[in-house]
Amino acid sequence: MHFQDVPDMPRELLDNTTRIIPSDGVSPLMRILRKLADKGYAGPLSVELFLPRFQQGDPFEVAREIRQKAESVMRQARVI
């Protein structure tokens, strides 16, 4: 399951290049995670980002930031 956020912009302008780190945007991620958990989903979540700043950054720092923010959202949703 892909797990990412989106910026506050018109839906028709969203594409793969506008994906951002979970918790940095406007998606109702906690509600989505709770709904998935309530339906029994216990599989993996994968963050897939295509913005150049993520691809050009230090991979360890980018991974650390993604993990920290994604886990924070998951804790708030009480799924970890």
The answer to whether position 32 is within a domain reads yes
The answer to whether position 15 is within a domain reads yes
The answer to whether position 30 is within a domain reads yes
Residue/partner pairs of 35-40 with CB below 8 Å, 24 or more apart: 36/1, 36/79, 37/77, 37/78, 37/79
CA atoms in the 13 A half-sphere facing the CB of 64 = 5
The answer to whether position 46 is within a domain reads yes
The answer to whether position 63 is within a domain reads yes
The answer to whether position 61 is within a domain reads yes
Q: Residues 1-16: pLDDT tens digits?
A: 999 999 999 999 999 9
Range of the domain at 27: 11-76
Number of helices (H), then strands (E), in the chain = 3, 0
Domain total in the chain: 1
The answer to whether position 5 is within a domain reads no
Q: Residues 20-79: pLDDT tens digits?
A: 999 999 999 999 999 999 999 999 999 999 988 888 999 999 999 999 999 999 999 999
